[in-house]
Structure 1
Amino acid sequence: MTGERRERSTEAFFGRRHGKTIRPAQASALAAGLEKYRIDLDQPAPADLRRLFPVDVSKLRLEIGFGGGEHLRHAAAADPDTGFIGIEPFINGLAKMMVALDRQPLANLRIYDDDATQVLDWLPPASLDGIDLFYPDPWPKRRHWKRRFVSPANLDRFARVLKPGGKFRFASDIDHYVNWTLLHCRAHGAFEWQARDADDWRRPYETWVRTRYEAKAIRENRIPAYLTFVRT
């Protein structure tokens, strides 16, 4: 990256930024990948977000907290007509993603490596067709619940940037967080839960890729829920 990054405030919805020390090859891929894929919030957002991408796209999606990027890379490769913005502040996940993108570049993908609220506040109103929040940190201790990403303030942000009819998708294996999300979306009023029976929230989304985290949760008898809310 060229120049110095401007420090931005964070609302601390995520935990640590670093895990194990990354290998030199990962560090090289990370630096090169961020130079190529990172969106620059110091520049005004284009009125037409499709201009963020060097290829023609017709829809725009945002994934918050993509981890190692398994799902995001699969979704972007399977749907080249959609532009994807992925957000992940954890350096080790970013490095894994960038190593994979070095092997298989994706022109319909952009990345941000800090607080997702910064991107949400930067985006133009009614600019996204979808927002995905898959397996976010549940912050299980009551004193930390204020750090859960699903909150009235962030649902306000979602409502602002989603187009009418746009979808907010939420997946988790933590029952309390699933119920928390249902209650918060119902109380907010801008989101309608799309479920007619239990299979609608037990069945994974189309083209879903099971990550190692989800496989581990299922082995430990934690049942995932897949919620879909439509922006009214």
Structure 2
Amino acid sequence: MSTPQRPRRNFYGRLKGHNLKQSQETYLSEDLSALSPGAVDWDSNPDRRPLDLQEMWGGRECWLEIGFGGGEHMVHQAQGNPDVGIIGCEPYINGVAMLLGKIRKAGVDNIRVHPGDARDLFDVLPEASIARAFLLYPDPWPKARHHRRRFVTPEHLAPLNRVMKQGAILRIATDIEDYVRQTLEQVPRHGFEWLAERPADWRTPWEDWQSTRYEMKALREGRTPHYLTFRKA
């Protein structure tokens, strides 16, 4: 069998911000490798062998958070659902370092961290392996010419559909009305049913919601959060 060809993928967004604190450098050097979900990058896994989630989680249900920011929500979910394994992906290394500090403080052991592009993780997740996914306050790319960079495009939604189980839940939170528009146009086209029946269903946070730093900023600046819930058909 021939080795898969690495796709040409542009990445847009920040990889690193301000200088890390010494404690954050320590988290990255001491904790990140042990929390890796496995061989995700192309150099270590050129054949794109699927991750062994049975070995990783011992049969526990697997959830996915795409772009976890500072990790507040993911650690909250890990604490509240110790019988679930959660994989988070985030290319912004400052956010990864913040998450690692929160994991240490919380003492949770059911999180794995991919510090990179979600598309590389999709390559190696087994088909129909994810029971729940979160996309919370993704980069809005507000300029019209940049809307193709948003997550809610076929390049991301098609592989997301592949890795999610039938009946799996996808939660999307955003404070950008045009992002809501594009989400409601694109996500159903890729095999997901919007579950809202009344306005309260997208205006009210989920019962187990943990607000993030990005939501706090949106509220301070007068923008309205939207909470969209989909189910894979």
Asked if TM exceeds 0.5, the reply is yes
> Partner of 2:50 in structure 1?
45
> Residues 18-41 of structure 1, C-alpha deviation per residue, up to 9 Å, x if partnerless?
111002221011121211101222
Alignment-mate amino acid for residue 99 of structure 2: M
Q: Partner residue of 2:185? A: 183
- Counterpart of 2:14 (choices 10, 13, 16) is 16
Q: How far apart are residue 57 of structure 1 and its match?
A: 5.1
C-alpha separation in 1, matches of 2:104 and 2:78: 15
Aligned to 2:64: 62
Aligned partner of 2:215 in structure 1 is 214
The offset of 1:132, in angstroms, is 0.7
Counterpart Cα distance in 1 of 2:226 and 2:20: 32
Maintained 8 Å contact 1:64/1:133: yes
Structure 1 residue 216: Cα displacement? 2.0
Q: Counterparts of 1:162 and 1:111 in 2: how far apart (Å)?
A: 18
Deviations 1:8-62 (A, max 9, x none): 7673454011111002221011121211101222353345x13213xx4531110
- In structure 2, the partner of 1:194 is 195
* Partner residue in 2 for 1:3: none
CA contact (8 A) 2:96 2:115 kept: yes
Distance 1:168 1:14, change over 3 A: farther
Which residue does 1:205 correspond to in 2? 206
Q: TM-score, normalised by structure 1?
A: 0.89
One-letter identity of the residue aligned with 1:198 = P
AA paired with 1:45? P
CA 1:149–1:14 in structure 2 vs 1: closer, same or farther (change >3 Å)?
same
Cα distance in 2 between the residues matched to 1:131 and 1:197: 22
Q: Distance in 2 between matches of 1:204 and 1:57?
A: 30
Amino acid at match of 1:11: R
Decide which of 29, 45, 48 is 2:27's aligned counterpart: 29
Residues 91-102 of structure 1 aligned to structure 2 (within 5 Å): 91-102=93-104
8 A contact 1:45–1:122 mirrored in 2? yes
Describe the SS at the equivalent of 1:210: coil
Point out 4+ residue stretches in structure 1 off by more than 3 angstroms. Answer: 8-14
Quick one: structure 1 residues 60 and 159, their matched pair in 2 at CA, closer, same or farther if it must change by over 3 Å?
same
**Please, what TM-score do these two structures have when normalized by structure 2?**
0.89
Question: Aligned partner of 1:121: which letter?
Answer: D
Aligned to 1:5: none
> Which amino acid is 2:123 matched to?
D
Distance, in Å, in 2 between the alignment partners of 1:10 and 1:91 is: 22
SS in 2 for 1:31: helix
SS at match of 2:32: helix
**Residues 89-133 of structure 1 deviation map (CA, whole Å, 9 limit, x = unaligned):** 111111111122223332211000010000011111101101110
Summarize deviations over 1:130-178 as a string: whole Å, max 9, x none: 1110000011111211111111222111111111000111100000001
Write the distance in 2 (CA, Å) between the matches of 1:158 and 1:35: 25
Q: Is contact 2:75–2:106 with CA below 8 Å preserved after alignment?
A: no
Mark the runs of 5 or more structure 2 residues left unpaired by the alignment.
Answer: 1-5
The answer as to whether partners of 2:65 and 2:134 remain within 8 angstroms in 1 is yes
Q: CA RMSD in A?
A: 1.7
Q: Structure 1 residues 142, 216: closer, same or farther in 2, change over 3 A?
A: same
Count residues in correspondence.
Answer: 221
**Is the CA contact 2:63–2:132 (under 8 Å) kept in the aligned structure 1?**
yes
Mapped to 2, the partners of 1:169 and 1:12 lie a distance apart of 25
Measured in 2, the distance between the counterparts of 1:128 and 1:160 equals 9
- Could you say what secondary structure the match of 1:130 adopts? strand
